[in-house]
Structures are given as C-alpha cells and as structure tokens.
Structure 1
Amino acid sequence: MTRRQRSVGRAAVPLSTLSFGAAGIGNLFTAITDREADQAVHTAWECGYRYFDTAPHYGLGLSERRLGRALRHYPREQYALSTKVGRLLVPQDGTGRDTEGFAVPATHRREWDFTADGVRRSLEASLERLGLDRVDIVYLHDPDDHADQALDEAYPALERLRAEGVVGAIGVGMNQTAVPARFVRDTDIDAVLLAGRYTLLDQSGLDELLPLADERGVGVVNAGVFNSGLLADPAPGARYDYRTAPAALLDRALALKAVCERHGVPLLAAAAQFGLGHPATVSVLVGVRRPEQVRDAAELMERPVPAPLWAELRERGLLPAHVPTPGQAP
C-alpha cells in the first residue's frame, strides 16, 4: 500500500498513500542529528514513500533544509513535496531555544503573514532552503485566526503561483474542519491537509468537510491518525490533541485496542488504514524521524485488517454505522 498512489489537483500531483511528515526531522520535541535525518528519508524512499511534507515552522527551517538535502539523491520527477506558507521566519539575535516545541536555537522568530507578498516571500525562502525551483503542493498553514485574510489575500496569491506553474497544487493545512470546509466551498483549492479530525476516535471531518471535499474533487491528506499518541499506546497519561487524554477517551481507545487484539491486528494498523477509508482521502501522513519508525509505519499499512474487525467495532458502538471503512463505500 505504501507504493500505491493517488493524485490531487488539475495537475494530477501523485501522492503515495503513505506519506512522510517531516516535523520530526526538524527536531520536534527532541533533537536528532543530520545523519539520522538523512537515514530516515533514505529509509522512507526504500519503503516506497513518495510524498514528503514539511514547513518553515518545523525547526525554524531546519526540516526544509534537511529534507531538501536528503532528497537531492533522487530523481525530482519521482516524488512529490509540499511545504506551507503563513509564518515568515524573521532573523533575530537570540541565544535561547525555540519556544514552540522544536529543539533548535531561537535564531529566528515566526511572524504570521497571510498577505500576498508574505506568501511569495515565504515560498521563495522555502525554495532556497529546500534547494529546489518548485514544490508540488503549498498549503496555507494554520490560518485559524487569520481566515479572512487568508481567503482574501493569501489564496489569490497561491492561485496565481499555480497558474504560473511554480506550484502544482494549493490547499490549506489545519487541525480543525470549519475553516478548511469554507475554503473547499468558496475557492478552487486542490487539497486539504487535515490533522486529527478523521480518526478512529474523532470522525468530525465527516460532518461537512470530507463529503464536501469528495463532491468538489478536493483531495484530503489525513494526518494525526494516532491522535497525538493515544491510539499508539493507550495508557494512563497518554496524550490526545497534545494534552493528557480525558478518561472517557482513554477508555474508548482501550476498547478499540481490545477489539483489534481479538482479531490479531495491532491498533496502530487499524488506525493507520482507517485514515484511508473515506473516498476523499488520498494519503495518510505520519510523522517519523528514525528509520525504524519509517519501516514500522510502512508495515502497518501492509498489515491485513479483516472486515469482521470493522464489523465488531460497529456492533460495539465504537464506530458509528455511517462511517466508511477501508474497502467499503460510504
């Protein structure tokens, strides 16, 4: 399944059904070495990943630099790469550490900017860090508090860049559904990167966004399918949406795990493959930083998940009846 591809946009940008989320190689939470980052990307290539996602936000540009350097070993036409706009990196004289979750020196500060000029400046800087002359997808990154400006100024700038051929497809990346649904309704975007809102624990993406995306032909890249770790290892203290999971959600995750175990399937495999179950979803994006994580994710996507497992989840009320599962039409 890792090597299978689906496409997004009028340019038919091909995306592997399992994609590489590069926040980790930008030193998310803990630092890794350049060599470890290279090994992760090279292992991903060997395992069939052909879509790689990054952003200036990830390690104040470190993720883009590392990803660009590692991918120079491979033919450009054989992979897709996305980055994001909305946060400009402004140099600063700082001796401290980054305060937004990345183990890097605070050499820059992030400045929100969804103006047309900000979009172009951000993309130009990203291309320089990546060492590329084009990217395949550009997402508006987390415009939660800037939705109107992102629609009125940033989106038209991306539309022009797409028309000029600088980018192949454009979209929005968020961990909520309301603003992306607005973009799908009111613009001509090609893709949505949706984090944590279509998972075994949270199907709020079905309320409006996913059916609308399917109707409009907008591809959804499904990220956060493990809900910050709760579906990776449901145990007291596990995190959900970056905070300690409430007791009710922990109980639900443990019940999901028990059903999976009865069918001989790791919960992680069911969670990963569920993310591709809706017809609008084109790829599952996993955050990885080490070769073993890369291989494990690829193996999860290949693990057989029997239909009776999904049926039991419905019978036990752990999945609503209307929620599509892999291999089944909605």
Structure 2
Amino acid sequence: MLPPTYVEGFHDLEAVKAMRYSSLGSTGLLVSHLSLGGGALGGFYGEFEEAEAIEAIREALRKGVNYIDTAPWYGDGKSEAILGKALAGVPRKAYYIATKVGRYKPITQKMFDFSSKKTLASVEESLKLLGLPYVDIIQVHDLEFAPSLQVVLSDTLPALASVVKQGKAHHIGITGYPICTLKELLEMNAKLQSPTKIEMVLCYTRATFFDCTLQEYLPFFQSKNIGVVNAALTGMGILTNAGPPDWHPAGDEIKEVCRKAAEHCKMAGVELGRLAVYYALNEVQGPATHLVGLNNKEILMSNLSLAIGSKAGEGSKPFTPAEEKALTEVRKKFFEGLQSHHWEGIEISRYWKAMNNL
C-alpha cells in the first residue's frame, strides 16, 4: 500500500514500495522509516556544497523519505533556507515537514526564548525561509533549557496552539535531550484545565550503542498515543570513524570508548556510522521514524541502502558480512557494560553558568 504522500510522476515507485511507513501517534501522518534531519544543513558538521545538498534532499524525497525535520537553530536559519530552495517545485503533498521554536542563536543571551511573542515571530520567519504557507508539525526545541516548564506551558504552547488554529501548522510536538523532562511536561500539561494538544516527541541520541534510555520511556509515550521520532542515530557524530565535532557535549569516557570503536572499524575496513544507522533502523523498535542528518548524496545513498536495500538504486551499498561481523564485535567489545552512557545535565549546567556570568 502506498503512503498518502505518494505522487505519481514524482516518486520512484519501487523505492517507495520498499520503504516502511508508520503512523506518527495521533497525527494521522504516515511517516517513512528513514527521515531527513536538517541539522547537517546548518553547518554543525563541517562545510558542504549547497547545490549537492539540495539535490540530495530532492533525491531523498523521490526515493520515499517523506518526513523532514529542521529548526531556526540549525545555522541561524541556514537549514530552513536551504530546505526552502530544495522544496521549491516539489509537490507539497509529497512530504511532511517539522520545524521548531525556542532555540535560536549561538550567542548565550540570544540562544533561548520561549516567550509567546518570540514564538509567534519565529513561526512567521520559518515559513518565510521555507517558502511554505504551513508546516505539518511545530515543536518546542530543547524545552529543558526554559527558565521553567511552567513558561513552556503558559507561554510557548498556547502560542503554538494559536498557530495551529490559524492553519500555519497542523500538529504540536516537543523535543529535548532528557526524556524524563519530556514526560514531565506531558504529565503537567495533561493536568491543566485546558491542555494543549501535544502529539509527538523528538528524542535524540537516546537509542544508540551507548544509550538505550528511549526504550524505558516508549511504553509511556505509546500509552498516550504520542508519536516518537528517534533522532541523531550516530550520536551527533560520535559514532563515526571521523569522530565527534569539537562542540560535542559527551564526557571523556563515552568519547574514548567511541574512539576505540572507530579505530576497530577502521582496521576492519568498515564505517562505524553505518553500523550505528543500521542498528537503529533494524533493531530499535517503537519510534515511528528514525531521523538522520545529511548534506550530500553519498550519505543519502548509504542511509537509503540500509533502509530499503537494492531499491535505493545506483550508488547503494548493501550491508555486508564484514559489517555484520564488525557490528557484533563493536557492541560486545566496547559498549557492553559502559557505565557513563549519557551527558544529561552537562549542557544545561554550562548554559546557566554562562548566563549567570553575563
């Protein structure tokens, strides 16, 4: 059965047939198993050719990837602007797109703003950059950085509800690193006399070789019919042969273990990032979609080949016996028994320390 986003004459029919699609909570959206993350379009992972990124985005959509996630934070609007160029001329029916509010600029005092006024202005700016009259989902970005969850409940979410009422977004979601905070916000919202309808959550780096925290919370989200997006399958680059970017917040223990795993993969002639993506797509059960950033066609074809195999087309790379062997070895040798498996609290502590020093 073809998804509602299928457009004859635009899509690669065989690739779409090969892609898995799942319902995203109560939204009514049937999203692709592999989805497209806009973080890499913001320059967080190095330089890239914009023209190649645009072609990769369009090719991903043609091959059946139908869910896109972006945010103003990704390159101070750069990600949204590039997506706006890539989506020009693409049938609007062919994709769902989500953006965010709350996190903005790489300057401490201008990084976060969860006020109603800023929220409404941000939505308008995002629509302008994307060149769209509406987004399918509007999300509160990294809500753990808000002065309090009460600010999100009383300011941010009601503003987003008004955006939905105006037809500029169709559904509301929340994102963050500490999954316990996402759960807390949902529980607080449910107790309000007039709760905001929240239909999905985005969790990142919480279903990887070194952190399975998402699995602990899936039953709660599922019981509330909340759609789950699993993002950052390579742990924001830490699970790659190249290693993490300089800004990565992980502690020394995780970084060292991942470095050793990467060295093992290099010796075996395989890419750790592919093992991490394969693991998420094939072994992490529960999320409606798995979100992976990309800014070139090589990354796209690698990810597509892991999601739909040979139907990805020319340039696809099937998962090999050598990769299967390395996957087993890496998980057993480096990640079993890892003690420090997350970095909750580190970024928040740094942020508030910087704010207090202003």
Whether these two folds match at TM > 0.5 is: yes
Q: Contact 1:18–1:285 at 8 Å: present in 2 too?
A: yes
1:192 to 201, 214, 217: 201
The amino acid across from 2:239 in the alignment is L
Q: Contact 2:76–2:104 at 8 Å: present in 1 too?
A: no
Q: Contact 1:184–1:216 at 8 Å: present in 2 too?
A: no
Q: Contact 1:47–1:295 at 8 Å: present in 2 too?
A: no
Aligned to 1:131: 131
Give 1:252 shift.
Answer: 6.9
Cα distance in 2 between the residues matched to 1:34 and 1:249 = 30
Aligned to 1:150: 152
Higher strand share: 1
1:47 matches 2:63: yes
Q: Contact 1:6–1:16 at 8 Å: present in 2 too?
A: yes
Q: Contact 1:268–1:300 at 8 Å: present in 2 too?
A: no
Aligned to 1:58: 74
Q: Contact 1:119–1:158 at 8 Å: present in 2 too?
A: yes
1:290 matches 2:296: yes
Change in 2 beyond 3 A, CA 1:315/1:233: closer
Give 1:68 shift.
Answer: 1.3
Give 1:240 shift.
Answer: 9.8
Higher helix share: 2
Aligned to 1:28: 44
Q: Percent identity?
A: 29
1:206 matches 2:206: no
Cα distance in 2 between the residues matched to 1:280 and 1:253 = 29
Q: Contact 1:82–1:139 at 8 Å: present in 2 too?
A: yes
Q: Contact 1:275–1:281 at 8 Å: present in 2 too?
A: no
Cα distance in 2 between the residues matched to 1:294 and 1:99 = 31
1:224 to 232, 241, 249: 232
SS at match of 1:284: strand
Cα distance in 1 between the residues matched to 2:121 and 2:250 = 37
Give 1:121 shift.
Answer: 1.4
Cα distance in 2 between the residues matched to 1:22 and 1:248 = 25
Q: Contact 2:53–2:294 at 8 Å: present in 1 too?
A: no
Change in 2 beyond 3 A, CA 1:68/1:315: closer
When normalised by structure 2's length, the TM-score is: 0.70
Query: Which runs of structure 2 are paired with 1:92-107 in the superposition (5 Å)?
Result: none
Give 1:131 shift.
Answer: 0.8
Give 1:300 shift.
Answer: 2.5
More divergent stretch after superposition (237-246 vs 32-41)? 237-246
Query: Which runs of structure 2 are paired with 1:274-313 in the superposition (5 Å)?
Result: 274-276=279-281, 277-301=283-307, 302=309, 303=318
Cα distance in 2 between the residues matched to 1:140 and 1:245 = 26
Change in 2 beyond 3 A, CA 1:88/1:145: closer
Change in 2 beyond 3 A, CA 1:211/1:254: farther
When normalised by structure 1's length, the TM-score is: 0.76
Gaps of 5+ in 1: 90-97, 101-108, 321-330
Q: Deviations over 1:266-303 (max 9, x none)?
A: 65444224335454301111111111111111122345
Q: Contact 2:21–2:32 at 8 Å: present in 1 too?
A: yes
Cα distance in 2 between the residues matched to 1:251 and 1:32 = 28
Q: Contact 1:239–1:245 at 8 Å: present in 2 too?
A: no
Query: Which runs of structure 2 are paired with 1:99-118 in the superposition (5 Å)?
Result: 110=110, 112-118=112-118
2:172 to 170, 173, 177: 170
Cα distance in 1 between the residues matched to 2:237 and 2:224 = 32
Q: Contact 1:173–1:193 at 8 Å: present in 2 too?
A: yes
Aligned to 1:12: 28
SS at match of 2:288: strand
Change in 2 beyond 3 A, CA 1:247/1:144: closer
Give 1:179 shift.
Answer: 1.5
Gaps of 5+ in 2: 1-14, 190-196, 310-317, 338-358
The amino acid across from 2:140 in the alignment is L
Cα distance in 1 between the residues matched to 2:104 and 2:247 = 25
Aligned to 1:85: 101
Give 1:180 shift.
Answer: 1.0
Q: Contact 1:218–1:280 at 8 Å: present in 2 too?
A: no
Aligned length: 299
Q: Contact 1:56–1:64 at 8 Å: present in 2 too?
A: yes
